Structure formats: structure tokens, C-alpha cells
């Protein structure tokens, strides 16, 4: 269980580090938030879902999880979803790449890595 919380802490540290250090990453994250908000609002209005169901659908769609719990029933909803997927998946993958890059950099600078490297040298 502790490993889970360490992983979550590292994720948010990498996210914060990427936002703080790179202007381009801020633009990607803002774009992802705009995509999620616009999709949520669209599905609330067109498909008459509540905000949580609409946001859940947007996140599962853009992360390619696609649980199948919700799906658009109107023609305009289906057309929007097709366009939404093509626009959003690239943005989410770009954001994931940025976070992963900063997580790897953070892992290489970790004091635990320095300790482990020193321990390996003694053997």
C-alpha cells in the first residue's frame, strides 16, 4: 500500500516539475483541460448526462480505456466523439510523455538512487 502512495506522490511531483519548468508543457496541460471541459459540457448538454458521467466518459475515451459504460446515442454525439477522439488522444499522449520524462529525470536525481549507486560500488 505504501508503494501505491509513493507512486502517486512521484506522479504529482513529476507533474508539478513539468508545469514549473517548461512553458510548452503548460500549454499541453491547459489544452488537455480545455478538451476535457469542452467534452464534458458537450455530453452534458447533448446526451443529458450529469457532469460526473460526462467527465468519466471523456477521461475513459481519451485514455483509450473505453469501459463501455456510457456511449453517445445521438448522431451529433457520435460525430463529436469521433472528432473528439482524434483531437484528444494526441494531447493526452503528449501530456503523458511530458510527465514520464520528468518522472524519469526525477528518478535519476533521487537520493535513493545515489544511495543505491553507492551501495552497488561497495560490492
- In this prediction the pTM is 0.72
For the chain, domain boundaries = 14-122
Digit-coded pLDDT (tens) for 6-62: 778 777 887 787 777 777 778 888 999 999 999 999 999 999 999 999 999 999 999
C-alpha triplet 56, 91, 48: angle, nearest 5° = 30
pLDDT attached to residue 69: 82
The CATH label, of 3.30.300.30, 1.10.540.10, 3.40.50.1860, 1.10.287.70, for the domain at 14-122 is 1.10.287.70
The tally of CA atoms less than 13 A away on the side-chain side of residue 82 is 5
Mean pLDDT in residue range 63-82: 89
- Residue 84 clears pLDDT 90, i.e. is over it: yes
Amino acid at each position: 500500500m505504501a508503494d501505491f502512495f509513493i507512486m502517486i506522490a512521484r506522479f504529482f511531483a513529476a507533474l508539478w516539475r513539468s508545469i514549473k519548468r517548461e512553458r510548452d508543457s503548460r500549454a499541453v496541460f491547459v489544452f488537455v483541460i480545455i478538451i476535457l471541459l469542452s467534452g464534458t459540457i458537450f455530453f452534458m448538454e447533448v446526451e443529458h448526462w450529469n457532469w460526473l458521467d460526462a467527465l468519466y466518459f471523456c477521461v475513459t475515451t481519451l485514455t483509450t480505456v473505453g469501459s463501455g459504460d456510457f456511449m453517445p446515442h445521438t448522431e451529433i454525439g457520435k460525430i463529436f466523439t469521433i472528432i473528439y477522439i482524434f483531437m484528444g488522444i494526441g494531447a493526452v499522449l503528449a501530456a503523458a510523455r511530458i510527465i514520464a520524462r520528468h518522472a524519469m529525470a526525477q528518478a535519476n536525481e533521487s537520493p535513493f538512487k545515489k544511495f543505491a549507486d553507492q551501495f552497488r560500488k561497495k560490492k
